[in-house]
Amino acid sequence: MTDRAVEDVAVQDILSTIRGGNEPEQGLKPRSELTARELLREVGAVLRMSEAEAAKLGDLPLDPADDQTMIINMGPQHPSTHGVLRLMLELQGETVLRCKPIIGYLHTGMEKQGENLTYMQGGTNVTRMDYLSPLNNELVFSMATEKLLGIDGDIPERAVWMRMLLSELNRMSSHLLFMATNGMDLGAVGMMIYGWREREQVLRFFQKVTGLRMNHNFIRPGGVAADLPAGWRDDVLHLLEMIPPRLEEYDTLMTGQPIWRDRLQGVGVITQAEAIALGATGPILRSTGLEWDLRRDQPYLHYDEMEFDVIVGTYGDAFDRYAIRLNEIRESIRIVHQILDRMPGGDYRIQNKKVTPPPRARIDESMEALIHHFKIFTEGFKVPEGEVYVAIESPRGEIGCYIVSDGSATPYRLHVRAPSFVNIQCLPHMMRGGLVADAVAVISSVDPVLGEVDR
């Protein structure tokens, strides 16, 4: 029998299964008069073919070119690519042979724009890069500017502690959102709602402090924009009380659950050597067992006085990265407790007239204050010539800011080393040889923010 004939027989068999029976095509007979085949059709059995029928179909002649691979395009409008990430995947069957991330769909020239904004305005620009941890972006930009100004040791204590408080709460909100999106990508849709819900609580606190939920422009060169509002301590304590039991719920919902483990364990494995070679930082690097956290290893602000653990994984897989982020929320809570105990009073920004605008009340009574205010807001403050690279630990890894100053009020060059931009290079390595169904789990575990990938 030729291949073609086998195929025809198989097709006829299916067609007869569907059409066969004693019921007229546009009629309906009583159930008692129907053949068994009709009844099967009624309950949808046609769709669930019998083993014999399925085997027949399985014997269909194979495509002579079936060793060919298929190249499929995923994104940039795919809901699980976290924005506008596009992946080209080369598949053989369900196995991913190669993967190439294609980026740039969100490129808005923020580094170019940064050269046209003064140091005062720069915060509004950098805060929009990694829009899930805006306060860390502002922090690294402010720290770089302060280093160029030579005032990095003179920032008032209260401002430093406020920066730490906001940075840690931002880490929590970012990781909570990761819990939500990671759950959503893997089908744990309930988790999505819980993650967003808890994150929103943190953002509400940010709104109370900075006036905005995101893109705050609150941490500025010289300190922060405003003092903490009345009742801030109770709000933070409320968060610290509310979140830990919720994390326990996440554990019940996901961590110990067999389906969750099966979907994540052993998926997207990366070795330590690979992660270092690829420049991966943050939870990806830590998932391979390397204790590297800039808060501890190159401390900034007052992190050297804080007691916290650097969470590391063992296998470098997606489950490790999930577990690291979950436990980093707990460590952030520990840090915030210590910050609350030690939050000093005093000024929240440096009283350097060249950098900080004078208080509103002073403008009415002092000519100099008016002039300083006018000059800072029209032409900005001048920063001495030089270049500096400052790096801090953002929720996604090392975020660096390289500023070159030519002595004017705008940066000559503003470059942001975006952790997601570098981390995304791990995707081809993590996906190689894996299943296409796991691709989504892998993207999710890298937790890229496309706003900072493309800048």
Q: Which residues bind other proteins (CB under 8 A)?
A: 103-104, 107, 109, 111-113, 115-116, 147-148, 150-154, 276-281, 290, 292, 297-298, 384-389, 391, 398, 400, 402, 404, 406, 412-413, 415, 417, 421-422, 424-425, 454-455
Pick between residue 183 and residue 223 the one whose CB is nearest to other proteins: 223
Q: Give min distance, CB of 63 to other proteins, in A.
A: 31
Residue 48 gets which letter from DSSP?
S
Pick between residue 100 and residue 342 the one whose CB is nearest to other proteins: 100
Closest CA to 315 of 328, 324, 327: 324
User: Would you state the torsion angle of the CA atoms of residues 2, 19, 50, 40, taken in this order, to the nearest 10 degrees?
Assistant: -170
Pick between residue 116 and residue 378 the one whose CB is nearest to other proteins: 116
Q: Give min distance, CB of 113 to other proteins, in A.
A: 7
Q: Give min distance, CB of 442 to other proteins, in A.
A: 17
Q: Give min distance, CB of 366 to other proteins, in A.
A: 25
Pick between residue 161 and residue 421 the one whose CB is nearest to other proteins: 421
If you write DSSP's letter for every residue of 173-214 in order, what string do you get? HHHHHHHHHHHHHTT-HHHHHHHHHHHHHHHHHHHHHHS-SS
Distances in whole angstroms, Cα of residue 215 to Cα of each of 104, 142, 220, 391: 21, 15, 13, 20
Q: Give min distance, CB of 107 to other proteins, in A.
A: 4
In degrees rounded to 5, what are phi and psi of residue 388? Answer: -155, 145
Pick between residue 194 and residue 421 the one whose CB is nearest to other proteins: 421
Q: Give min distance, CB of 151 to other proteins, in A.
A: 6
Q: Give min distance, CB of 7 to other proteins, in A.
A: 42
Pick between residue 27 and residue 153 the one whose CB is nearest to other proteins: 153
Pick between residue 374 and residue 389 the one whose CB is nearest to other proteins: 389
Helix (H) or strand (E) holding 403: strand 397-405
Q: How far apart are the first and last CA of the chain?
A: 62
How far apart are the C-alpha atoms of 230 and 383, rounded to whole Å? 34
Pick between residue 293 and residue 331 the one whose CB is nearest to other proteins: 293
Helix (H) or strand (E) holding 246: helix 232-250
One-letter amino acid for residue 299 of the chain: P
How far apart are the C-alpha atoms of 206 and 203, rounded to whole Å? 5
Peptide bond into 357 cis (omega under 30): no
Q: Give min distance, CB of 123 to other proteins, in A.
A: 19
Angle at 383 between CA 378 and CA 388, to 5 degrees: 135
How far apart are the C-alpha atoms of 369 and 388, rounded to whole Å? 30
